[in-house]
Amino acid sequence: MQDSVLLRCENLTKSFGGLVAVSDLSFDIQKGEVLGLIGPNGAGKTTVFNLLTGVLKADSGQVMFHDKNLLKIPAHKITELGIARTFQLIRAFEGMTVLDNVIIGGLFGRRKTHEVAKDDALRHLSFVGLDNCADMLVRNLTPFDRKRTELAAALNTEPELILLDEFIAGLNESEIHNALTMTRKIRDEAGKTLFWIEHVMKAIMSVAERIVVIDYGKKIADGPPKEISKNEQVIAAYLGSRYVEESDKSAKSE
């Protein structure tokens, strides 16, 4: 595996009965990049995340992270190897404090002592801008602050690679701006690699260096955002002509 490749997915396939959710999918994730994963609803994007993190077992293929095939490793061991994720539907413990949620990430994701997990949790909460919310119950947070709590918990597993599943879904314009700033900060300041599912095209196109597009579980494109936005197959399957027209208008006004 080339030194610049952090993860390599080869011929990944997963079926549910007669439905092929992911079909012969291959792609690389480069160290230090933000890689986007886009496609229509039901295209298989979250299934890809579930396969990479051991939630689901693949029918065939392999996923190499460094020199380990993730498809042969239990989910909790995958976290220990250096892969963390957030969820489209937030999976925080709502009856617990923000701090305790983030501590749990260190305790179970990286087997830290409680003292170390707490110290690191406070550091990660400061990083995501939630240090003033440490003692609040998660159920009392805004949706964006819940997302940031989940992100801080993921960071407390000390990952190399973070899988973001629709990190900005449901946010207002101001929160989207802050979330995009956060994703850049995670890569530039924390040194993490990001693999990001997103439906808000202006957002993902403005941050990701490269985008993989899937439709019916198959890869139909892989390239930089400008190339993807002009790809006829991607436009027909997902973006639509209206997105292209709006993007052209935006570019001309800048």
Cα separation, 229 vs 162, in Å, equals 25
Q: How many domains does the chain have?
A: 1
Cα separation, 170 vs 47, in Å, equals 21
Give the range of the structural domain holding residue 47, as residue numbers without chain letter.
1-82+162-173+195-254
Task: Evaluate whether residue 70 is within a structural domain.
Answer: yes
- For 33, counting Cβ atoms within 10 Å of its Cβ (0-12 exposed, 13-18 middle, 19+ buried), the class is middle
| Whole-number pLDDT of residue 3 | 65
Task: Evaluate whether residue 134 is within a structural domain.
Answer: no
Is 65 in contact with 79 (CB distance < 8 Å)? Answer: no
| Whole-number pLDDT of residue 57 | 95
Task: Evaluate whether residue 127 is within a structural domain.
Answer: no
| Whole-number pLDDT of residue 188 | 95
Q: What are phi and psi of 195, to 5 degrees?
A: -120, 115
Q: In this predicted model, what pLDDT tens digit does every residue of 20-70 receive, in sequence order?
A: 999 999 999 999 999 999 999 999 999 999 999 999 999 999 999 988 999
DSSP-assigned beta bridge partners for residue 63: 9
- Angle between helical axes of 114-128 and 143-155 (0-180°, round to 10): 130
Give SS3 for 49: helix
Q: What are phi and psi of 28, to 5 degrees?
A: -115, 155
Task: Evaluate whether residue 188 is within a structural domain.
Answer: no
Q: What is the CATH number of the domain that holds 211?
A: 3.40.50.300
Cα separation, 97 vs 249, in Å, equals 45
Task: Evaluate whether residue 88 is within a structural domain.
Answer: no
* Mean pLDDT of successive 10-residue stretches along the chain, which has 254 residues: 83 95 97 95 94 96 94 91 87 91 92 95 97 96 94 96 93 94 94 94 92 96 94 86 54 47
Task: Evaluate whether residue 59 is within a structural domain.
Answer: yes
Task: Evaluate whether residue 142 is within a structural domain.
Answer: no
Task: Evaluate whether residue 238 is within a structural domain.
Answer: yes
Is 164 in contact with 195 (CB distance < 8 Å)? Answer: yes
| Whole-number pLDDT of residue 252 | 46
| Whole-number pLDDT of residue 119 | 97
CA angle 41, 91, 124 (to 5 degrees): 115
Mean pLDDT of the chain: 91
Give SS3 for 187: helix
